Chain A
């Protein structure tokens, strides 16, 4: 339940924080997420080798996991662990930026549709229905195929295909909040529509959007990995978990580690974000208790 008055908002936040910290899985997810973020930020310090380093390929390639190479080496003799660490940078960066784009578009579209209503609302929501009737991955690979793949393009395209769910949530929230008394009160006091939107409605819409964003990061990382796996995303030699899995595919039966470890990194990362998202939902919305 969101508090309409600023006075009690702080205590509501504190209460939410308390609920979140009592949620064991959520705390675990948060710790993992922070750890992953730190790993990505300090990749040069964490990684034992240069991710692109190649010396005497024939002697160093396809080495199974060892103390020197905890996740083994790939077909160019590069250290898989170091590449996984650097891959975290790519995955997290694309995940965060794409979700930021998606959330911005989704919030804007949803707020406009919900607040202004009328034909604009109908048109926008029909458009959302239309976009949702495409499998996201089909839309992604079709879009990406039309251009030269680059990290910027992938981020943009992931953002452009990920905002529809948010816009529906925001529109629904705006419609509910709009009818509440304090908005009516603000209108009576003569505040402009823009100000009502920014000051009174957006803070209330924030809760479900934060939850959707957290869960969205996990989905976006999965989508990026799938694109890169198909060779339509991040291009080698830049390390991304998806293209690393793909690179080990042909030699998987002899060198299982090249595909296995980057995949585990994806699972762990996505799971962390899902844990945090679930915890946030339970903490921010006490009605949703299962």
Chain B
């Protein structure tokens, strides 16, 4: 195992190095997008309420008065030094805006990701073990339905359901924000519970469609594994069926699911834009959305950049997980 751990670290470092050119690509792409826009970004502010001084300051801030290659290198340097400019919408540095929003998005997406993985795998595995049963058919149809649901609509339907006066107070869950009014006065445990309760509906709305997708895939993966020779070996050893399924089959069926998670991560962050708007969740998605509505370009650019970085980071984690789950990868 010691040599395995060492190999894992080398693997991680190599992947980290490979991410650098993609990072440069992302920054370049954002730069190109900015210059693709009709006029320049500052013209978006040409409206009677904005004073000319502000527009000049804005042009200077974006470096729009310089030649294009100089702008590009300034841009690159700024992004890699963490200087994302100044948000005119919020009247504070972009880095401060992101510092507030990023943790909220990470918590929401993280919880959703766990939900996607756990619920998806559990449902898919149960279906595979009970293949062609009534339960299997019902779950197949349900996951297809859920898979086809737009997240924002599901979010609204959840809000509708949890605002119903018929609902007993015990089952009530908060439908917006991160914390309740009076949060500051709660004890540490109360604070944790309050945050957890606020997370339930948004994370379900954000993750459930992907969980259904994982379930569909997991069913197939599990069925394939159950037909493998080593499952027959495990049974021929006299192991209880529980152990055959929960240890031997499950662990193998999870291997392709881990790489599937890599595909769901971009979807998750994309979905977080909509879900954060629906549930007034003060994260990156909502920051990006508000910045777009307010033509707050520095925030738009920095937020897009961070979404790209998050996907890269998540893919790195998925690759590591993959290596941890499948010993055959480690050697390569």
In-complex A–B contact (CB below 8 Å): yes
B150 touches A266 (CB 8 A): yes
Given A135-B307, A145-B300; A249-B156 close (CB under 8 Å): yes
Chain B 245-271 interface 0/1 with A at a Cβ cutoff of 8 Å (1 = within):
000000000000000000000111111
Q: Is A218 an interface residue (CB 8 A)?
A: yes
Chain B nearest CB from A240 CB (Å) reads 12
Looking across the interface, which residue of chain A has its beta carbon closest to that of B291?
A145
Residues of A within 8 A of B37 (CB): 146-147
A8-16, A105-113, A136-144, A181-189: which lies at the B interface?
Answer: A136-144
In the bound complex, CA of A19 to CA of B37 (Å): 49
- Asked whether B89 is an interface residue with its Cβ less than 8 Å from the other chain, the reply is no
* Interface size, chain A (Cβ < 8 Å): 44
A254-290 residues with Cβ-Cβ distance < 8 A to B are 256, 259-260, 263, 266-268, 270-271, 274-275, 290
- A252 CB–B CB distance under 8 Å: yes
Is the CB of B205 closer than 8 A to any CB of chain A?
no
Q: Which residues of A contact B277 (CB under 8 A)?
A: 230
| B304 near A138: Cβ-Cβ < 8 Å | yes
B274 lies within 8 A of chain A by Cβ: yes
Main secondary structure of the interface of B (DSSP, over half): helix
**A142–B33 touching, CB < 8 Å:** yes
Give the total number of A-B pairs whose CB atoms are below 8 A apart.
134
Contacts A129-B22, A230-B277; A134 near B311 (Cβ below 8 A): yes
Residues 99-126 of A contacting B (Cβ, < 8 Å): 126
B33 touches A252 (CB 8 A): no
B36 on interface, CB distance cutoff 8 Å: yes
Determine, out of A56-64, A77-85, A221-229, the stretch whose residues face the partner at the interface.
A221-229
Q: Looking at the assembled complex, report how far the CB atom of B323 sits from the nearest CB atom of chain A, in whole angstroms.
A: 19
Q: How far is the CB of B35 from chain A (nearest CB, A)?
A: 10
Pair B150/A134 contact, Cβ less than 8 Å = no
Chain B residues with Cβ under 8 A from A274's Cβ? 144, 147-148
Choose among A131, A136, A253, A259 the residue that contacts B153 (Cβ–Cβ < 8 A).
A259
Q: Find chain B residues with CB under 8 A from A232 CB.
A: 292
A130 touching B22 in the complex, CB below 8 Å, given contacts A230-B274, A266-B150: yes
Selected from B148, B311, B315, the residue in CB contact (under 8 A) with A218 is B148
Within the complex, which residue of B266, B268, B295, B315 is in contact with A134, where a contact is CB–CB below 8 Å? B266
Q: Supply 19 A–B pairs (Cβ within 8 Å), ascending by A.
A: A25-B144, A131-B29, A134-B29, A135-B268, A135-B307, A136-B270, A137-B273, A138-B270, A139-B304, A141-B292, A145-B295, A242-B150, A260-B157, A267-B148, A270-B149, A271-B144, A271-B147, A274-B144, A274-B147
In the complex, whether B159 has a CB less than 8 A from a CB of chain A is yes
In the complex, B220 has a CB within 8 A of chain A: yes
Q: Is the CB of A245 within 8 A of B156?
A: yes
- Cα–Cα, bound, A206→B96 (Å): 50
B266 partner, pick from A133, A145, A256, beta carbons under 8 A: A133
Please name all residues of chain A whose beta carbon is closer than 8 Å to the beta carbon of B289 when the two chains form the complex. Answer: 141, 230
Chain A residues contacting B145 (CB-CB under 8 Å) are 267, 271
Assuming A134-B304, A134-B307, is B160 touching A267 (CB within 8 A)?
A: no
How many residues does chain B have at the interface if contact means C-beta atoms less than 8 Å apart? 49
Binary flags per residue of B299-322, CB closer than 8 Å to A gives 1, else 0:
010011001100110010000000
Residues of B within 8 A of A226 (CB): 150-152, 274
Q: Which residue of A lies closest to B267 (CB)?
A: A135
Q: Which residues of A contact B (CB under 8 A)?
A: 25, 126, 129-139, 141-143, 145-147, 218, 222, 225-226, 229-232, 242, 245, 249, 252-253, 256, 259-260, 263, 266-268, 270-271, 274-275, 290
- CB-CB < 8 A to B29: which residues of A? 130-131, 134
**B295: nearest chain-A partner, CB-CB:** A145
Taking the complex as formed, is B223 at the interface, i.e. its CB lies under 8 A from any CB of chain A? yes
Q: How far is the CA of A35 from the CA of B160 in the complex (A)?
A: 30
A141, B273: Cβ atoms under 8 Å?
Answer: yes
CA distance A242 to B150 in the complex (A): 9
**Whose C-beta in chain B lies nearest to the C-beta of A256?**
B160
Partner of A143, one of B33, B153, B273: B33
One of A130, A139, A245, A253 near B152 (C-beta < 8 A):
A245
Q: Are B292 and A253 in contact (CB under 8 A)?
A: no
Q: Which residues of A contact B312 (CB under 8 A)?
A: 133
Q: If A135-B267, A229-B274, A271-B144 touch, does A142 touch B22 (CB 8 Å cutoff)?
A: no
- Listed from nearest, the 6 A-B pairs whose CB atoms lie closest are A137-B270, A135-B270, A263-B153, A290-B220, A270-B148, A271-B148
A245 and B153 contact, Cβ closer than 8 Å, known pairs A252-B160, A274-B147: yes
Question: Is B163's CB within 8 Å of the partner chain A?
Answer: yes
The answer to whether B33 and A146 have CB atoms under 8 Å apart is yes
Instruction: List, in ascending order, chain A residues with CB within 8 A of B288's CB.
Output: 138, 141-142
